[in-house]
Amino acid sequence: MFDSSPIDTWEGAAAIFNSAGSIGEVIWFWIAVALCVITVISAIIHENKTERERG
């Protein structure tokens, strides 16, 4: 579906990961950052709820 290969041949290949050297690399990086931030927010909400209900 998404042709993300940065190489056409294995001869002399160096960075071979998907989206290497393209905007896709930046997008995936920020997706990972966002997922970490979402998790911390989720933890804060969960703990606040527990404090309200049980504290």
Residues in touch with other proteins (CB under 8 A): 1-5, 7-10, 13, 16-20, 24-25, 28-29, 31-32, 35-36, 38-39, 42-43, 46
Pick between residue 17 and residue 48 the one whose CB is nearest to other proteins.
17
CB 28 within 8 A of CB 17: no
Pick between residue 42 and residue 48 the one whose CB is nearest to other proteins.
42
Q: How far is the CB of 22 from other proteins (least distance, A)?
A: 10
Tokens at residue 50, please? Answer: 């527990």
3-state secondary structure 18-45: CCCCCHHHHHHHHHHHHHHHHHHHHHHH
